[in-house]
């Protein structure tokens, strides 16, 4: 009798831990977004920090940051930049983040080399592999619908 209850208990554990398929699963969308079975994929998280260029040439600095903004738009058009934004005032010299739609740091580095503010060392970049929702890029079409003014 103890063996029966033990086997019953074990079968209950196995069925409780068995994974079921999500009824909302869209295999076409998952394939389009390169999602794994959990709806996730690898990205590269970039922490932008204050760089070591201390130039006081305002026109040059303004031009580099204008180029930085333009470059972000270009990366979005290429489907390589999924998330970007500034970080509020802090004591760690953090300025902003990027989430790049590439699976490796090696693929991310050439993309960052196209950024004028990083090239001029007004910004420095720390890169980290990041595993996140493959659906992250699906918010991008809504961006233009909620933005009243352009940068």
CATH code for the domain of 79: 3.30.70.1060
> Reading across the β-sheet that carries 94-100, which strands appear in turn?
81-86, 94-100, 40-50, 123-133
- Does 24 reside within a domain? no
The answer to whether the pTM exceeds 0.85 is no
> How many Å apart are CA 142 and CA 133, to the nearest integer?
17
- Does 87 reside within a domain? yes
- Does 18 reside within a domain? no
Q: Are 101 and 81 in contact (CB under 8 A)?
A: yes
- Does 58 reside within a domain? yes
DSSP letter for each residue of 16-44: HH-----TT--HHHHHHTT--TTSEEEEE
Write out the E strands in the chain.
40-50, 81-86, 94-100, 123-133
- Does 27 reside within a domain? no
**Predicted confidence pLDDT, tens digits, the chain (151 residues):** 555 444 445 555 555 545 678 888 999 999 999 999 999 999 999 999 999 999 999 999 999 999 999 999 999 999 999 999 999 999 999 999 999 999 999 999 999 999 999 999 999 999 999 999 999 988 877 877 888 887 6
- Does 98 reside within a domain? yes
Question: Which range marks the domain in which residue 61 is found?
Answer: 39-146
* Coil vs helix vs strand at 84: strand
- Does 77 reside within a domain? yes
Q: Are 46 and 117 in contact (CB under 8 A)?
A: no
Q: How many domains does the chain have?
A: 1
Query: Which residues neighbour 128 within 8 Å (Cβ) at sequence distance 6 or greater?
Result: 44, 45, 46, 47, 105
Residue 63 has, within 13 A of its CA and on its CB side, a CA count of 8
Q: What is the pLDDT of residue 2?
A: 56
- Does 117 reside within a domain? yes
């Amino acid at each position: 009798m103890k063996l029966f209850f033990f086997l019953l208990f074990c079968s209950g554990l196995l069925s409780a831990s068995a994974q079921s398929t999500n009824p909302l699963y869209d295999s076409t969308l998952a394939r389009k977004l390169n999602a794994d079975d959990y709806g996730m994929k690898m990205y590269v998280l970039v922490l932008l920090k204050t760089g070591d260029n201390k130039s006081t040439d305002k026109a040059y600095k303004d031009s580099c940051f204008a180029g930085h903004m333009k470059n972000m738009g270009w990366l979005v058009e290429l489907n390589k930049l999924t998330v970007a934004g500034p970080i509020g005032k802090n004591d760690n010299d953090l300025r902003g983040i990027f989430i790049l739609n590439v699976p490796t740091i090696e693929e991310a580095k050439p993309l960052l080399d196209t950024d004028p503010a990083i090239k001029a060392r007004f910004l420095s970049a720390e890169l980290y592999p990041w595993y996140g929702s493959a659906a992250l890029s699906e918010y991008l079409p809504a961006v233009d619908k909620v933005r009243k003014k352009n940068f």
